[in-house]
Chain A
Amino acid sequence: MNFSEVFKQTNQLCKVSPDGKYLATCVQYRLVVRDVSTLQILQLYTCLDQVSHMEWSSDSLFILCAMYNRGLVQVWSLEQPDWHCKIDEGSIGLVSSRWSPDGRHILNTTEFHLRVTVWSLCTKAVSYIKHPKACQKAVDFSRDGRYLALAERRDCKDYVCVFVCDDWHLLRHFETETQDLAGLEWSPNGCVLAVWDSCLEYKVLLYSLDGRLLSTYSAYEWSLGVKSVSWSPSSQFLAIGSYDEKVRILNHITWKKIAQFEHPAILDSTKATVYKEVEKRPAVGSDEMSLHSITIGTTLFNTQSKYEISPLPVQIPVVKPDPDRANPKIGISALAFSSDSRYLATKNDNMATAVWVWDMQKMSLQAVLEQTSAVRCFQWDPLRPRLALCTGNAKLYLWSPGGCVSVQVPAEGGFQVQSLNWHCSGDSVILLGKEQLCLCYMDTDQEDK
């Protein structure tokens, strides 16, 4: 496993182009585009202010840089460096900006969610979508980029608008049976739209593309409900994480629950492997110094850690949430299916140090990774069943069905991994620190063995 040198970045703005060739990073008001393989700077653009959001267009030709506090969006072309585009939302403000799937339109959401402005780069045309809902996930494009689903709030009722992205034609507009819609998400095959209610009510609704209600699912009443929702890449399963610390899996034929994954604090009778991260201070022995003479600086400052398989029963540390505060730190906040839909990784908020990996074939717990500190971020390899996670220290953790490994990032000056992104080829991971970034190249040869 190799690591690149460390580069600067701000706001954790660092994205690889969809074709995997370029790496764009923002350093305050500058946008730097590098070649992924050589890491040489290809282009350098200067924005008008510090960038708050940056996004590649789907064809990897344009980069969008949004400056929310100025209400500005600047678009840069990779092929024509002197081409420029600037969108000014004016005094109405800007809270969110994104590309449309075709890479020729920009959707800006104004402050107070007054409207969504759709700017066309082809015709300079502007169109408005009124009454967008301010919620967890109000906008979602289908995977093939043909449809846009948008949550709408009118007369204290929730609606869903389905647009054809081609010409922004309103295809369907229907009212949903929700009290307070919290989010919507297309199934990966783009035929089913999952809509869920706010956490006050456990309600998941499934709509067909043509606006028919396919099914309604509610696991329980009264207590806090859905916290996170995720489709499996095969569109076969819909995983719903909720505040009762459980994940429920719905199937795509009857839309009924087929499995329920609980996250108990004490694991005693399970076939799952429990990996526990064990930290140990490096012994300051002379031989070790000589062996790792190059990395003395890092080894001295950082503790080493490794995984141990802990015998059952295992007690996972639980933090009891404060009942008086809103948005209690309890329940399943993160769900992610592996690319082959074989595994599901979950994180329970009141057991912040643990990541749970479930086997979707056996519908059982496969592994539990108990870290020494709270898990910040985890992401699946886009091609292989391999999970990368970080806990805000100088280590990268990897899980695969074969086992678990903890890798020290050999960067100087207290590089702490706050978040990570896989390269689309699965050969490297971009590790993002507070103001730095670093690429980690996986050993492909070893992987093949």
Chain B
Amino acid sequence: MGEWWTTETSMENYEISSISHVTMSPSRRNNLVSMYSFPFSKSSYSELSAFCIEDNIPQCISYINQELASLGLSSTCIEAISPGGTGLSTVPALNAMYELLQIHRRNMCNLEELEREHLRKSSTLEHVQMSNTRLKDQLELSIREKSGLHETERQLQLKIKTLQSCLKTEKDEVQKLQSVIASRASQYSHDAKRKEREAVKLKERLSQLLVDRKDKKLAIDVLNCLGRADGKRRHWKTTKATSSHENEMYKSLLSDYEASQRSLMLENAELKKVLQQMKKEMMHILSPRQPSIRGATADESQEQADLDGEKGGDTSRESLDQYCEHAREQLTNSIRQQWRKLRNHVERLDSQASQAQNQLESKEVIPRETHEDEMERMRCEVQQCKEFIHAQQQLLQQQLNTSFDDETAALLNDCYTLEEKERLKEEWKLFEEQKRNFERERKNFTEAAIRLGREKKAFEEDRASWLKNQFLNMTPFRHRRRCSSSDGQSALSIRSEPEIRMSSVNGQLAKSSTYTTFSTPRPSRSAPVPSTTELYRTLRLIPDSSSSRHSNRGRWPECSNIEDGETRVRPTNGLRPGDMSIFSLGEDENSLT
């Protein structure tokens, strides 16, 4: 069908193309028309201009034959019916005509094809030319741009050159100015010195003049001379006096130095005391925590080395009281060593803390969720199983009741019971399987719980030791740890909470929850772990939260309906298949939801 369509369309296309082709080249059409019209207008042609007239038929025939032979159609030879007669033998003539027509058509086809080709070529040529011109334009543009850039670069370089020259001249200027300043300063100082010398000379002259004048006014007029402030008489200027002055001077200097030395010594002693105390405290801090750290960390050998170093420090401490150079050196060395140790320890603690943080994250956050999930799943399954058993018991009772009620129905039921038995068997199998699964998972869970307990214990120990250390060391990352520990506590409290809630809820929702989860497939392990609340919500175990309450409200009438249905069904025992269907329908519904 499709093929036919396509052929037709192709034919149409062909026609269209031929038409368009025809319309596109009117000149050729004219030619064609003229060519085609030639035979029809033959009669209108004058006999003189005509190719064949009555008289030259044989010549014409021979000519045509020759022409045909030259065209390679030698097989068909037009013959006259009778030599010299005007009639033509029709068969070869027609054959020849046919051949000619065939050739003509083929040629026409070729021509058309060639024209089409030509058209295509010309269009591509045009396109190429266009693109060529465009590219040329682009080239020109880019060349222009390039030249522009070259120009700007040249200008910039010129600018740089001028700036460089400017800088050079500025530098020269600075140097020149500096030298000017220096020369001026030297000139100034020289002049100042000259002036000062002159001034000194003038002063000398002045004082000389004043002395020479015997200035009468220059005098002291005292009523009666005073005694010295200290009551002593004035000493004579003797060598003894000068030496005593020297002595006094040196004495005062000495006393000053002694005082300063004393103060320095006091300060030194104070500092030593502080150092000693620091050392003691450092040792106190470092020594008791060693075993616990050694237990925890892997680098025991280093620890051992540290301990050895500390012992060395101990010996130095003993000799600390001797204030000799050696002891001091040892003291500073030991202090330095211990400081290094302390620093290492702090660093290690830091790394430990970060590790512990990571561990806590991995140990608490992820496992807690998985454990809770697991627990939820387990509980659900327990519930499911219980419900299952319950339902089956109910069904069994129903069956028994109905069989006792009606004898005829019993007979009718037999076939149903068989079917029922089959179904029950299947369900029992399913149940068994689920029970097995449940058992297995329970085992897993208990194992996990044991593992968790062990880990928790380890963590508690770790924390206790760490807290102890921290308390001893008063390290700055105290609160980080505290945060994490409080996290753990909160996690524990959270875990205990839903258990309580679960137990309280279980009684109320036993039926509905089992009903809903009866045939829901167990959540696959590979699925992303949902949060606890989400899980609860999906299991409809949270009556507290508003959203879940809504859903419960939505659900509870449903299950009560089912119960109603069940109770309604009970008196009408004849409708057992319907009952069954209702049950199965509900099941289907749930499985769908």
Q: What's the minimum C-beta distance from B211 to chain A, rounded to whole angstroms?
A: 10
Determine the distance from Cα of A114 to Cα of B199 in the docked complex, in whole angstroms. 10
Does B217 contact A88, Cβ atoms closer than 8 Å? yes
Which residues of A, 177-211, contact B by the 8 Å Cβ criterion?
179, 189-191, 208-210
CB-CB under 8 A from A190, the residues of chain B are 252, 256
CB-CB under 8 A from B50, the residues of chain A are none
CB-CB under 8 A from B173, the residues of chain A are none
- From A90, A119, A179, A209, give the contact of B252 (CB < 8 A): A209
Determine the distance from Cα of A86 to Cα of B259 in the docked complex, in whole angstroms. 44
Binding-face segment, A120-128, A322-330, A418-426: A120-128
Q: What's the minimum C-beta distance from A440 to chain B, rounded to whole angstroms?
A: 33
**At the interface, is chain A mostly helix, strand, loop or mixed?**
loop
Does B229 contact A102, Cβ atoms closer than 8 Å? yes
Determine the distance from Cα of A252 to Cα of B213 in the docked complex, in whole angstroms. 51
CB-CB under 8 A from B228, the residues of chain A are 102, 104, 122
Q: What's the minimum C-beta distance from B253 to chain A, rounded to whole angstroms?
A: 5
Measured as residues with beta carbon below 8 angstroms from the partner, the interface class of chain B is 35 or more
CB-CB under 8 A from B199, the residues of chain A are 112
Residue A362 interfacial (CB < 8 Å):
no
Which residues of A, 147-203, contact B by the 8 Å Cβ criterion?
153, 156, 164, 166-167, 169, 171, 179, 189-191
Residue A257 interfacial (CB < 8 Å):
no
Interface string of A119-151 (1 = CB under 8 A from B): 101111010000100000000000000100000
Residue A37 interfacial (CB < 8 Å):
no
- From A102, A167, A171, give the contact of B237 (CB < 8 A): A167
- Given A114-B203, A209-B253, A90:B217 Cβ within 8 A: yes
Q: What's the minimum C-beta distance from A411 to chain B, rounded to whole angstroms?
A: 38
Does B206 contact A171, Cβ atoms closer than 8 Å? no
Determine the distance from Cα of A85 to Cα of B196 in the docked complex, in whole angstroms. 36
Does B222 contact A85, Cβ atoms closer than 8 Å? yes
Residue B272 interfacial (CB < 8 Å):
no
Determine the distance from Cα of A190 to Cα of B260 in the docked complex, in whole angstroms. 13
Interface string of B244-266 (1 = CB under 8 A from A): 01101110110010011000100
CB-CB under 8 A from B224, the residues of chain A are 83
Does A85 contact B249, Cβ atoms closer than 8 Å? no
Name the residue on A nearest B215 (C-beta): A90
- From B213, B230, B234, B249, give the contact of A167 (CB < 8 A): B234
Does A83 contact B223, Cβ atoms closer than 8 Å? yes
- From A115, A169, A208, A253, give the contact of B242 (CB < 8 A): A169
CB-CB under 8 A from B234, the residues of chain A are 122-123, 167
Determine the distance from Cα of A112 to Cα of B206 in the docked complex, in whole angstroms. 10
Determine the distance from Cα of A179 to Cα of B193 in the docked complex, in whole angstroms. 11
Determine the distance from Cα of A126 to Cα of B220 in the docked complex, in whole angstroms. 9
- Given A167-B235, A167-B237, A209-B249, A114:B207 Cβ within 8 A: yes
Determine the distance from Cα of A353 to Cα of B234 in the docked complex, in whole angstroms. 52
Does B203 contact A104, Cβ atoms closer than 8 Å? no
Q: What's the minimum C-beta distance from B435 to chain A, rounded to whole angstroms?
A: 74
Residue A382 interfacial (CB < 8 Å):
no
Determine the distance from Cα of A83 to Cα of B225 in the docked complex, in whole angstroms. 10
Determine the distance from Cα of A82 to Cα of B259 in the docked complex, in whole angstroms. 47
CB-CB under 8 A from A258, the residues of chain B are none
Residue B219 interfacial (CB < 8 Å):
yes
- Given A169-B245, A190-B252, A87:B220 Cβ within 8 A: yes
Does B249 contact A210, Cβ atoms closer than 8 Å? yes
Name the residue on B nearest A208 (C-beta): B253
- From A91, A153, A191, give the contact of B256 (CB < 8 A): A191
- From B196, B207, B220, B230, give the contact of A153 (CB < 8 A): B196
CB-CB under 8 A from A412, the residues of chain B are none
CB-CB under 8 A from B217, the residues of chain A are 71, 88-91
Determine the distance from Cα of A114 to Cα of B219 in the docked complex, in whole angstroms. 17
Determine the distance from Cα of A167 to Cα of B228 in the docked complex, in whole angstroms. 11
Residue B227 interfacial (CB < 8 Å):
yes
- Given A91-B215, A114-B206, A122-B234, A191:B252 Cβ within 8 A: yes
CB-CB under 8 A from A280, the residues of chain B are none
Interface string of B345-374 (1 = CB under 8 A from A): 000000000000000000000000000000
Residue B592 interfacial (CB < 8 Å):
no
Does A189 contact B196, Cβ atoms closer than 8 Å? no
CB-CB under 8 A from A179, the residues of chain B are 189
CB-CB under 8 A from A112, the residues of chain B are 199, 203, 206
Which residues of B, 185-227, contact A by the 8 Å Cβ criterion?
189, 193, 196-197, 199-200, 203, 206-207, 210, 213, 215-227
CB-CB under 8 A from A104, the residues of chain B are 226, 228-229
- From B200, B207, B237, give the contact of A169 (CB < 8 A): B237
Determine the distance from Cα of A83 to Cα of B230 in the docked complex, in whole angstroms. 20
Determine the distance from Cα of A121 to Cα of B234 in the docked complex, in whole angstroms. 12
Residue A103 interfacial (CB < 8 Å):
yes
Residue B103 interfacial (CB < 8 Å):
no
Which residues of A, 84-113, contact B by the 8 Å Cβ criterion?
84-92, 102-104, 112-113
Q: What's the minimum C-beta distance from A104 to chain B, rounded to whole angstroms?
A: 6
Q: What's the minimum C-beta distance from B247 to chain A, rounded to whole angstroms?
A: 11
CB-CB under 8 A from B130, the residues of chain A are none
Residue A279 interfacial (CB < 8 Å):
no
Name the residue on B nearest A162 (C-beta): B249
Determine the distance from Cα of A59 to Cα of B586 in the docked complex, in whole angstroms. 122
Q: What's the minimum C-beta distance from B238 to chain A, rounded to whole angstroms?
A: 10
Name the residue on B nearest A59 (C-beta): B229
Name the residue on A nearest B189 (C-beta): A179
- From B218, B219, B223, give the contact of A92 (CB < 8 A): B218
CB-CB under 8 A from B230, the residues of chain A are 102
- Given A123-B234, A164-B245, A191-B256, A90:B229 Cβ within 8 A: no
CB-CB under 8 A from A71, the residues of chain B are 217
Which residues of B, 262-301, contact A by the 8 Å Cβ criterion?
264
Determine the distance from Cα of A124 to Cα of B210 in the docked complex, in whole angstroms. 20
Determine the distance from Cα of A59 to Cα of B230 in the docked complex, in whole angstroms. 11
Does B218 contact A89, Cβ atoms closer than 8 Å? yes
Determine the distance from Cα of A24 to Cα of B18 in the docked complex, in whole angstroms. 138
CB-CB under 8 A from B203, the residues of chain A are 112-114
- From A82, A115, A210, give the contact of B207 (CB < 8 A): A115
CB-CB under 8 A from B225, the residues of chain A are 121-124
Determine the distance from Cα of A253 to Cα of B268 in the docked complex, in whole angstroms. 14
Does A156 contact B193, Cβ atoms closer than 8 Å? yes
CB-CB under 8 A from A123, the residues of chain B are 225, 234
Residue B510 interfacial (CB < 8 Å):
no
- Given A85-B220, A121-B222, A169-B245, A91:B196 Cβ within 8 A: no
Q: What's the minimum C-beta distance from A393 to chain B, rounded to whole angstroms?
A: 42
Does A85 contact B250, Cβ atoms closer than 8 Å? no
CB-CB under 8 A from B128, the residues of chain A are none
Determine the distance from Cα of A113 to Cα of B204 in the docked complex, in whole angstroms. 11
Does A122 contact B237, Cβ atoms closer than 8 Å? no
Does B196 contact A119, Cβ atoms closer than 8 Å? no
CB-CB under 8 A from B450, the residues of chain A are none
Residue B143 interfacial (CB < 8 Å):
no
CB-CB under 8 A from B207, the residues of chain A are 92, 114-115
Residue B241 interfacial (CB < 8 Å):
yes
Determine the distance from Cα of A123 to Cα of B199 in the docked complex, in whole angstroms. 33
Max chain A CB contacts within 10 Å: which of B213, B219, B229? Answer: B229
A-B residue pairs in contact (CB < 8 Å), sample of 18: A58-B229, A85-B223, A86-B221, A87-B220, A87-B221, A89-B217, A92-B207, A103-B229, A104-B226, A121-B225, A122-B228, A131-B200, A156-B196, A166-B245, A167-B235, A191-B256, A209-B249, A210-B249
Known contacts A90-B216, A92-B218, A166-B235; 18 additional CB pairs below 8 A are A86-B220, A87-B221, A88-B220, A90-B215, A91-B210, A91-B215, A104-B226, A113-B203, A122-B225, A122-B226, A123-B225, A123-B234, A164-B248, A166-B245, A167-B241, A169-B237, A169-B242, A209-B249
Interchain residue pairs A-B with the least CB separation, the first 7: A90-B217, A90-B218, A191-B256, A90-B215, A86-B221, A85-B222, A156-B193
Which residues from chain A sit less than 8 Å from chain B, CB to CB?
58-59, 71, 82-92, 102-104, 112-115, 119, 121-124, 126, 131, 146, 153, 156, 164, 166-167, 169, 171, 179, 189-191, 208-210, 252-253
